[in-house]
Structure 1
Amino acid sequence: MILGFTIGFLEVSLVDILDIGLVSFLLFQVYNLMRGSVAVRIFIGFLSLYLIYLVVRAAEMELLSAILGQFMGVGVIAVLILFQQEIRKFLLLLGKTTSLNSENGFLSNLPWKKKKAGEELNITPLIEASKSLGGTNTGALIVLSKGSELKFYSESGDLIDAIVSKRLLMAIFNKTSPLHDGAVIIHKGRITAARCVLPVTEKDVPAQFGLRHRAAIGMSETTDTIILIVSEETGQLSVARNGTIYHNLSNQEIRSKINDYLTEEKKKKPKEEKNPVAEEEVSK
Structure 2
Amino acid sequence: MEGLQAWLTNQNWTESLTFLLDVGLVLALTYMVLLVIAERRTLWMVRGFIFLMLAAAASNRLGLTLLSFVLSNLVIGSAVAMAVILQSEARRFLEQLGRGDILNMLRPTRQGVQGPKTVLDEIVDAVKELSQNRTGALLILETQDIPIDERDFSVPGIRLSAEISRELIQTIFQTSTLLHDGAILIRGARIVAAGVILPISERTASRQLGTRHRAAMGITERVENCICVVVSEETGSISLAEQGTLNRPLTSSKLKELLEARVNPSVDEVVTPSLRGIRRQLREKSLALLPRLPFPGSRKKT
TM-score normalized by structure 2?
0.47
Larger Rg: 2
TM-score normalized by structure 1?
0.50
